[in-house]
């Protein structure tokens, strides 16, 4: 199993580290445009192999995509992160060109690859990869909902004063400060709805904290987060590489599901060896559906800024 990660920055390197530590991939190739940077990150990570007990071979390359040839999975984390006060959507001007270029290079050398898109604004960048590569829709997956759901569970565990492992929950919709739809109605603590423990006001606070999860960290760190994003991407990579058939909210190209057409947005999906194997249509109540539709309108507006 060969995994290429384009963008050896904060998220790319974190993802490479988690993939290696989980020890399911034979090879991870890091690619970056900055001279020597991917090679340096790869060497540094390889020097943790005997300490962390993994056999994954990590190599780096400066813009030489022949090193990525015949990758099974590729992750796109190349592009600029936001600074405090910015929205993800403001990154489109620079990141669209980068993502277009990178996805074309990737498929030239790995025509059968499954691509996981991370660069922001992620839902729009995922749509752009569809338009650029023409790959089948099961082989292009946007990562946002897995991270947003992890943050939702963190906030729920904080409110419930319980360990995060007690909590289950999911965030669908667009990966943006206003577009996320945390499904509080369906969230549980060991099968008991969280609504049994928390007031409507407290749950509203959990939702709002979840939606601005990325912005909160960006303000604290001066740039956007990387540990949880890297872990979330590695979980998707593992689900595909190990044919786990696990369900994650992922940004998928919708063709009528949830009454939405021709955009990529976060919906529950089953991931396995064929990439995004199935979109799961859960029954949303009227309020949730209205939020999903509003979120889709936001993604559409950002997509309209793309030039093909
Ligand atoms: N979808 C999500 O949930 C999520 C989570 C975190 C970050 N992000 C996004 O991921 C992206 C990367 O974030 P980061 O913190 O790792 O940034 P970073 O600046 O640390 O790393 C980005 C890397 O991309 C490289 N790069 C730029 N142009 C390139 C090109 N044409 N080819 C190859 N490499 C190129 C840069 O040299 C840099 O090393 C940002 O757009 C950020 O907003 C998304
Ligand atoms: O917040 C960001 O800009 C990065 C990423 O999308 C995140 O949610 O951490």
Same domain, 211 and 108: no
- Per-residue pLDDT, 34: 98
| For range 262-271, the mean pLDDT | 98
CA–CA distance, 245 with 43 (Å, rounded to integer): 33
Mean pLDDT over 85-93 rounds to: 98
Q: Choose the final residue of a domain: 115, 143, 171.
A: 143
What's the whole-number mean pLDDT along residues 92-98?
98
Nearest residue to 16 (alpha-carbon basis) of 36, 39, 40, 42: 42
Which segments are annotated as binding site?
7-12, 32, 82, 88, 95, 118-120, 151
Looking at the fold, whether 195 and 241 belong to one and the same domain comes out as yes
Looking at the predicted structure, is the pLDDT value of residue 91 above 80?
yes
Active site residue 175: yes
The closest ligand to the CA of 248 turns out to be: 1
Question: Does residue 308 register a pLDDT over 90?
Answer: no
Provide the number of structural domains found in the chain.
Answer: 2
Residues 77 and 166 in one domain: no
- The dihedral region occupied by 31, where left means phi > 0, alpha psi between -120 and 50, and beta the remainder, is beta
Listed residues 143, 162, 190: the one ending a domain: 143
**Beta strands of the chain (E only): which ranges?**
2-6, 27-32, 57-62, 73-76, 114-117, 140-142, 167-168, 171-173, 180-182, 188-189, 192-193, 246-255, 261-272, 275-279
Q: Is it the case that residue 307 has pLDDT exceeding 90?
A: no
- Domain harbouring 286, CATH code: 3.90.110.10
Quick one: pLDDT at residue 244? Answer: 98
CA 286 to ligand 1 center in whole angstroms: 36
> Percent of the chain beyond pLDDT 90?
99
Q: What is the CA radius of gyration of the chain?
A: 18
Residue-averaged pLDDT of the chain? 98
Distance 98 CA to ligand 1 centre (A): 10
Q: How many residues does the chain have?
A: 308
Domain end residue (candidates: 118, 143, 168): 143
Q: Is 246 found in the same domain as 124?
A: no
Q: Are residues 156 and 205 in the same domain?
A: yes
Helix 122-133, helix 92-109: angle, nearest 10:
40
Q: Is 226 in the pocket of ligand 1 (CB under 6 A)?
A: yes
Q: Are residues 191 and 81 in the same domain?
A: no
Does 308 map to a domain? no
Q: Percentages helix, strand, coil for the chain, rounded to the nearest 5?
A: 50, 20, 30
pLDDT beyond 80 at 162: yes
47-69 average pLDDT score: 98
Range of the domain at 83: 2-143
Token pair in block for residue 31:
């690619």
Same domain, 96 and 214: no
């Amino acid at each position: 199993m060969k995994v290429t990660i384009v963008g050896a920055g904060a998220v790319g390197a974190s993802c490479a580290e988690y993939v290696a530590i989980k020890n399911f991939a034979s090879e991870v190739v890091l690619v970056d445009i900055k001279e020597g940077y991917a090679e340096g990150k790869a060497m540094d990570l390889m020097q943790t192999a005997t300490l962390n007990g993994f056999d994954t071979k990590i190599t780096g390359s400066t813009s030489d995509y022949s090193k990525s040839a015949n990758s099974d999975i590729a992750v796109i984390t190349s592009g600029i992160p936001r600074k405090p006060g910015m929205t993800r959507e403001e990154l489109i001007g620079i990141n669209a060109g980068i993502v277009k270029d990178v996805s074309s290079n990737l498929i030239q050398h790995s025509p059968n690859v499954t691509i996981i898109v991370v660069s922001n604004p992620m839902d729009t960048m995922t749509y752009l990869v569809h338009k650029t590569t023409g790959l089948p829709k099961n082989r292009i997956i946007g990562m946002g909902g897995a991270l947003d759901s992890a943050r939702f569970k963190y906030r729920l565990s904080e409110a419930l004063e319980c360990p995060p492992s007690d909590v289950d929950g999911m965030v669908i919709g667009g990966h943006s400060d206003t577009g996320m739809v945390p499904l509080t109605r369906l969230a549980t603590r060991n099968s008991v709805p969280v609504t049994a423990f928390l007031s409507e006001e407290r749950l509203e606070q959990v939702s709002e904290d979840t939606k601005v999860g990325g912005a909160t960290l960006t303000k604290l760190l001066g740039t956007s987060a990387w540990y949880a994003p890297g872990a979330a991407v590695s979980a998707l990579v593992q689900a595909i590489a190990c044919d786990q058939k696990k369900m994650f909210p992922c940004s998928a190209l919708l063709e009528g599901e949830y009454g939405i057409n021709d955009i990529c947005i976060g919906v529950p999906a089953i991931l396995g060896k064929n990439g995004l194997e199935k979109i799961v249509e859960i029954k949303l109540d009227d309020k949730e559906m209205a939020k999903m539709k509003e979120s889709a309108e936001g993604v559409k507006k950002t997509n309209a800024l793309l030039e093909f």
